[in-house]
Amino acid sequence: MDSRGGFYRTGSIRRRVVIPYTELDVLERRHAMKVLMVLRDRGVMNKTELVESLTSGAGSVQTRVDDLLAAGLVEVEEENVRPFRKMISLTDKGREVADLIADVRGLMSS
């Protein structure tokens, strides 16, 4: 069973167990760390720029941004001038997490 929940048997009864995601689980999702690292390296970006830099579909990037937003790792602000765009950036917590990921990557490559 993983952290997203699953089935288990007790005797002949099959039950579903749902365990909520933790904030750490969001990093295991596809493209989550990539989004954090791109924002760490490039700063504030709109969704189109983020999609182009990740070579992923807009839907999957939006889903991941929503997950990271819920975990408090990114923030989204709307510009008040045309064209209206949503700008995505790391929160302080998101920057700390991205810095730790960079440190781990550095250790792994040395």
pLDDT digits (tens, 9 = 90+) for 29-83: 888 999 999 999 999 999 989 999 987 788 888 999 999 999 999 999 987 777 7
Question: What is the assigned CATH class of domain 22-109?
Answer: mainly alpha
Q: What is the pLDDT of residue 6?
A: 47
pLDDT at 1 over 60: no
**Can you give the residue ranges of every domain in the chain?**
22-109
Query: Would you place residue 2 in the very low, low, confident or very high pLDDT band (cuts 50, 70, 90)?
Result: very low
Q: Compute the distance between CA of residue 94 and CA of residue 68 in angstroms, rounded to an integer.
A: 8
Q: Which residue has the higher pLDDT, 89 or 105?
A: 89
